[in-house]
Homo-oligomer: A and B are copies of this chain.
Amino acid sequence: MHEATYDVKEIEKRLAQYIAGLKAPSVLKEAMDYSIQAGGKRIRPLFLLSTVSALGERVEKGMQTACAVEMIHTYSLIHDDLPAMDDDDLRRGKPTNHKVFGEAVAILAGDGLLTHSFQLIAEDPYLDDALKVKLIALLAESAGPEGMVAGQVADMEGENKKLTLDELEYIHAHKTGKLLTFSVLAGAMIGGVTDMQLEQFRQFAEHLGIAFQIRDDILDIEGDQKKIGKRVGSDESRHKSTYPALLTLEGAKAELKKHIRLAKERLKETGADTGTLLELVRMVETRDH
Contact = CB atoms under 8 A, between A and B. Distances in A.
A51 to B, nearest CB: 21
A29 B129 contact: no
Interface in A122-143: 122-123, 129-130, 132-134, 136-137, 139-141, 143
Interface residues of A, number: 51
Interface in A74-104: 75, 79, 82, 84-85, 102-104
A17 interface: no
B107 A119 contact: no
Given A25-B150, A150-B28, A104 B145 contact: no
A156 interface: yes
A146 B19 CA distance: 11
- Among A118, A137, A152, chain B packs the most CB atoms within 10 A around the CB of A118
Contacts of A111: 75, 79, 110-111, 114, 144, 149
B145 A24 contact: yes
